[in-house]
Structure 1
Amino acid sequence: MLEMEKLLSVWIEDTTQRRMPLSMLLIQKKAKSLYDDLQNKLPEGSACEPFIASKGWFERFKRRSNLHNVSIQGKAASADTQAASTYRNKLLEIIEEGVPSFISVTNK
């Protein structure tokens, strides 16, 4: 269990650095997958308790892993406001210059 949670923490950190959205369900699925993979690497006949990535486990894992700073939600991670600002300015330039004559503008 400890090894799985270490691997899960690394995966969460990597995912948040890539600005990918995380949800409780996604983290639970990844935890179960990691646990099952580690379980399969154990010698035949090793007795391990079954793991269910329950909501209770998830809440305890968040506390143990200090994940209060990680935004875990169903929506996408926050937008890149600098890129959005740059795009807005570029779009305004394009609009002010007008549409080039070789582009046909039609409403469909």
Structure 2
Amino acid sequence: MENQNPVHVFATWKVKEGQIENVLHLLKTVHKESIKEDGNLFYKIHQSNSDRNTIVLFEGYKDESSIAEHRNSKHFQDLVLGKIVPLLENREIVLTTPIEY
């Protein structure tokens, strides 16, 4: 059965030298479109203090199906996969479920 709990995404992107401004510019649109999605809880973009070419995305979604909708969206397909990923040296993604105490 599919997880109906909220899912948080931690994505760490190592941007190729000289491409950080291009990636940040594209991410403005990705952010704007992602927060409009019904299943999106938040979409936060962070830049490393120690390595300005490292971006960490912290995203929240209502459930697993909301992440699938996000990944199938036009802005994810066109901007993230089509334009941003080619500008990255490395991309790591961790999906988590928050633990409530």
Q: Same fold (TM over 0.5)?
A: no
TM-score (norm 2): 0.29
TM-score (norm 1): 0.28
Larger radius of gyration: 1
Bigger proportion of residues as strand: 2
